[in-house]
Amino acid sequence: MSGADALAVLRERGPDRAAESALLGEWLLAQAGLGEEAGEVTVAPGSAGDGVVLADGRVSGTLQRVPWARDAARIALLADGLVVVVDRAAVTIQPRVNLAGDPRDTVVLDGAGAWTGARMDPEELLMRGALTRIALMAGALDRLYEIAVRHSRDRRQFGRPIGSFQAVQQHLVNIAQQVALAGVAAEATARCAGGFEVAAGKLLANRAALTAGRAAHQVLGARGTTREHPLGQLTCRLWAWRSEYGDEHHWSTRLGAAVARAGADSVYPAITGGSTIVSV
Amino acid sequence: MLRFAPSELTDAELALQEQVRQFLAAELPRGSFAPGLGMAAGRDQDFSRALAARGWLGMALPRRYGGAERGVVDRFIVVEELLRWGAPVRYHWVADRQTGPLILRYGSVAQRDRFLPAICRGEVSFSIGMSEPEAGSDLAAVETRARRAEGGWRVSGTKLWTGGAHENDWFVVLCRTSDEGDRHQGLTQLIVDLRAAGIAVRPIAYLDGSEFFNEVVLDDVFVPDELVVGEVGAGWEQNTSELALERAGPERWLSTYLLVEQYLREHGAVNERAQAALGEAVAGWWGIRALSLSVARLLDAGQAPVAESALVKELGTRFEQDVLDAVWRLVPEDPDPVAESLFERLLAAAILGAPSFTIRGGTNEILRSVAARALRA
């Protein structure tokens, strides 16, 4: 699966292990010269900060919040600045989940045998991961928008569709705006995944997740708050993805610092020219 | 469903952007003028003439009227650069943005010949005569009335919030010419000479003490037939299309841009709070600009993105206020409107100007209704 195809799958179908494996795991292995063998590869998102130690071809330490580690064939991580891969069979999995109940396992490495690849800047992995989350979030927001608009037409109270009330219309407008921004973020980063675009895109997606999520729940009322309702499944994942691969604080300070370094005269050129002007 | 499709600028469009940037750096270098906030910037007819000489006024108008026959996106690029520079756009602003396209679309051949070349040369200025004391968001409630007279109309009534009436040449007045039928019928647009007999212009002091807005009282003002725009009685449709398609431009999200740039110039982004505010603002501009540009593309494709325009204006104007709040919070003391620091002056101007961002050109509440109608359809 090509990168662009996998991003499209993530946006259209939601969390898809094969697409995420193609975009992150297999990509990481290819970057590190570790080949593209069959089987799903999941990536430990924060391994550079997890304090994993590599010695004599063996890794030790604890990886946090690894997506679907329990189901993956292999787990890729960064240890001492190098890309490292271990077999799932060689590690201990402590099942954990995110807000939506999706696996985000703790992985204990106790001298697990590892294939060691090339160096990689953890920032590069962070960018790539954020790219996947922007696509996922834009897709979830597309569906959230449809659910909210449909409900506002179908649901009747006081003898008329709730969408005919101005107070509800304001929520729909708010949702439509945020969904449009997240859509722009996903399309622009799929076209050009420079640091500027990813930083700005993740910020917009995160903002949209919070704003549109709150508004959509208000439109759906109590119905949207059940575990089975599609809206709740979307918002729970949106809230979880918000903090994966860089939250608002991370990306806003980083983007702001980069633009400030470029200087006052470069602020507008950066807004129009993105990563061709500013290095984030 | 919404039709936002982000796009890149073409090589020709990027070349135009570069030309405008070089022009501004050469003709209007930083430090040589007092930059303003978006549409509220200064007025300088010589500057407007210089833009005209480059072909950057009336850009979308046909060549036979002195225009450049360029599209909405090209105008977007020029306007964006002017506004973010804080350039004095006020002399030509309404004529270039609104009156020119209105006259091209609905005006008579004689009106086009008379006004469009002058607009393209930067030699005529217009104001807008829509709002009245009893007609704000409910524009169809206008009470200014035109009565038939020999060879034209006699107009009486009061227009309110008419920006620049004291300094511009003409204004386009929406008035009632008939009481028959629905109240959206019987309205007509007239081009009225702001120096005509019977016109009294009274300034309204805005929050910051400036006197840009006016009350314009028309007392039996004669307007000849040849200055009726389009059809008598068709003023509502003409006026609505004029408003709807001019809503989503860069002026709706750049009003506080210069504040951020100047903060950085004077203070730098030395701490995390400032960096976070700058990052959030830049990301917001990046996204909203893409939406706004996609509306311009739709207009160039001959579509009428009414809902998209309303959404972008509503979003953009609130964003302008959010940017202001974020910058304001970085500053420990309330700013002095006449301080030596340009940043401090811009901050004061932005604070005092911000309430109007979400009101002018259609309140956000009205815009939400316009957009919601399309979303639910």
- B290: chain A residues, CB-CB within 8 Å: 184, 188
Number of domains in chain A: 2
Res B240 pLDDT > 90? no
Provide ipTM, 2 decimals. Answer: 0.95
Q: Point out the residues of chain A with pLDDT beneath 50.
A: none
pLDDT in tens, A58-69: 999 999 999 999
> Do A106 and A134 lie in a common domain?
no
What mean pLDDT comes out for the span B49-78?
A: 96
Q: B232 pLDDT band (50/70/90 cuts)?
A: very high
- Chain A contact present for B286, CB below 8 A: yes
A187–B6: do the CB atoms touch at under 8 Å? yes
Instruction: Please indicate, yes or no, whether residues A244 and A131 belong to a single structural domain of this protein.
Output: yes
Per residue in A175-189, pLDDT tens? 999 999 999 999 999
- Residue A139 sits in the same domain as residue A266: yes
B263, B370: one domain: yes
Which pLDDT belongs to residue A32?
A: 85
* Residue range(s) defining the domain that contains residue B163: 128-234
In a domain, B2, yes or no: no
Instruction: Point out the residue among B2, B282, B315 whose CB comes nearest to the CB of A270.
Output: B282
Q: pLDDT tens for residues B246-281?
A: 678 999 999 999 999 999 999 998 899 999 999 999
Q: Are residues A129 and A84 in the same domain?
A: no
Considering CB atoms only, which of A176, A199, A264 is closest to B311? A176
* Domain final position from A61, A85, A120: A120
pLDDT in tens, B273-327: 999 999 999 999 999 999 999 999 999 998 888 899 999 999 999 999 999 999 9
Q: Based on the fold, state whether residues A155 and A263 are members of the same structural domain.
A: yes
Q: Does B15 share its domain with B120?
A: yes
Q: Quick one: what percent of chain B has pLDDT higher than 70?
A: 99
| Res B186 pLDDT > 70 | yes
So what's the pLDDT on residue A140?
97
- Which chain A residues in 109-168 lie under 8 Å from chain B, judged by CB atoms? 149, 152-153, 161, 163-164, 166
pLDDT, position B2: 79
So what's the pLDDT on residue B244?
A: 66
Instruction: Give me the CATH number covering residue A163.
Output: 1.20.140.10
Minimal-distance CA residue of chain A relative to B315? A177
Query: Quick one: pLDDT band at residue B212, thresholds 50, 70, 90?
Result: very high
Residues 290-329, chain B: which have Cβ within 8 Å of A? 290-291, 294, 311, 314-315
Q: Which residues of B touch A259 (CB under 8 A)?
A: 264, 269, 278-279, 282
- What are the distances in angstroms from CA B237 to CA A56, A200, B39, B93, B242? 78, 40, 25, 22, 8
In a domain, B241, yes or no: no
CATH of the domain at B358: 1.20.140.10
- Chain pair A-B, CB pairs under 8 angstroms: 141
Looking at residue B5, its pLDDT comes to 86
Looking at the fold, whether A223 and A235 belong to one and the same domain comes out as: yes
| CATH code where residue B217 lies | 2.40.110.10
Q: What pLDDT shows up at residue B69? A: 94
The DSSP call for residue A103 is: B
Residues B276 and B325 in one domain: yes
| Residues B86-105, mean pLDDT to the nearest whole number | 96
Minimum CA–CA partner of B5 in chain A: A184
- Locate the chain B residue with the closest alpha carbon to A249: B276
Residues A144 and A80 occupy one common structural domain: no
Do A139 and A250 fall within a single domain? yes
- The whole-number pLDDT of residue A37 equals 67
Say whether both B171 and B67 belong to one domain: no
Residue A265 contacts by C-beta under 8 Å, 6 or more apart in sequence?
none
User: For the domain that residue A43 is a member of, what is the CATH number?
Assistant: 2.40.110.10
My answer on whether B98 and B195 are in the same domain is no
Residue-wise pLDDT for A67-101, tens only, equals 999 999 999 999 989 999 999 999 999 999 999 99
User: A120, A144, A169 — which closes off a domain?
Assistant: A120
Range of the domain at A163: 123-276
In a domain, B190, yes or no: yes
**Domain presence at residue B239:** no
**Res B190: pLDDT:** 98
B372 touching A, CB under 8 A? yes
Tell me: do B222 and B260 sit in the same domain: no
Whether B80 is covered by a domain: the verdict is yes
Domain membership of residue B213 (yes or no) is yes
Q: Answer yes or no: is B360 within a domain.
A: yes
Confidence of residue B361 (pLDDT cuts 50, 70, 90): confident
Tally of structural domains, chain B: 3
B116 and B132 in a common domain: no
Q: Residue B100 maps to which CATH number?
A: 1.10.540.10
Residue of chain A minimizing CA distance to B287: A181
pLDDT for A35: 75
